[in-house]
Amino acid sequence: MTTPNEQRPAGSTQENETNTTLASDAPSAEKTKDYSRGLPFTGHEHAIVLENDEYAAKFVPFLPEVGFVREAVFFGEQNVPMDCDLDEADEDPSVCVHVAVYHKVTMETVAVGRILSDGHIGRVSVLKAHRGKGLGNMVMRALLKCPDLPKTVWLGSQEYAIPFYEKLGFTVYGDMFYDGDTAMIPHYHMKLTRE
């Protein structure tokens, strides 16, 4: 799910190109897999970034449960090939921070997202059964707490998700584009310049 047509907005100053897709050696997933429950959260050594009574969000490396949520959502629901979703940035903590949101009692990991050092947010996803509970919003607010980000952060939003990001203050810029590897999904660039 790299986006070669994507362009950084002005204000996003870091130039390192980190979203190159590599051939993935991830196991091919079965569509028959049960994606209704998330894998148990394993990143116990990490500090909580945000929490409410039920859920907590942490900055984590590319834990298996992060990949599982993305597999369930992007492959299981949206038919994005896993070798498009996974890239070398995922496993490079010098350029990529992941957020995982998990249920504090069941320990299920139910929502994830990532931010790259150039301010590029992506892979924001919530397991289907857990949507509409503010967890996508929690992922985004946690990502925006990542230290040392450029002032302007940006993303490529699927068209239907634009209102979700607008509620967080993001605005659309530029024309519609098709994601490089999932050509049939219309996307728009969105950006947020923080104080």
Ligand X SMILES: CC(C)(COP(=O)(O)OP(=O)(O)OC[C@H]1O[C@@H](n2cnc3c(N)ncnc32)[C@H](O)[C@@H]1OP(=O)(O)O)[C@@H](O)C(=O)NCCC(=O)NCCS
Exposure b/e, 66-91, CB count within 10 A at least 16 = b: bbbbbbbbbbbeeebbbbbbbbebbe
Q: Out of 14, 24, 137, 152, which residue is the one contacting ligand X (CB under 6 A)?
A: 137
User: How many residues would you count in the chain?
Assistant: 195
Closest-by-Cβ residue to ligand X is 136
Q: Is 145 in the site for ligand X (CB under 6 A)?
A: no
Q: Is 19 in the site for ligand X (CB under 6 A)?
A: no
Q: Quick one: 104 or 131, whose CB is closer to ligand X? A: 131
Residues 53-82 that bind ligand X (CB under 6 A): 73
Q: Which uninterrupted H or E stretch holds 166?
A: helix 162-166
Q: What contacts 135, CB < 8 A, 6 or more positions away?
A: 55, 101, 110, 111, 126
Contact 138, 146 (CB under 8 A): no
Q: Out of 131, 174, 177, 193, which residue is the one contacting ligand X (CB under 6 A)?
A: 131
Q: Out of 161, 171, 174, 181, which residue is the one contacting ligand X (CB under 6 A)?
A: 161
Q: Out of 66, 95, 126, 149, which residue is the one contacting ligand X (CB under 6 A)?
A: 126
Q: How many residues bind ligand X (CB under 6 A)?
A: 18
Q: Is 33 in the site for ligand X (CB under 6 A)?
A: no
CA–CA–CA angle 55, 61, 64 (5° rounding)? 75
Q: Out of 66, 99, 124, 192, which residue is the one contacting ligand X (CB under 6 A)?
A: 124
Q: Which uninterrupted H or E stretch holds 135?
A: helix 135-143
CB atoms within 10 A of CB 159: 11
Minimum separation from the CB atom of position 42 to ligand X (A): 21
Minimum separation from the CB atom of position 85 to ligand X (A): 11
Q: Is 134 in the site for ligand X (CB under 6 A)?
A: yes
Q: Closest Cα partner for 68 from 92, 19, 33?
A: 33
**Residues making contact with ligand X (CB under 6 A):** 73, 124-126, 131-137, 157-158, 160-161, 163-164, 167
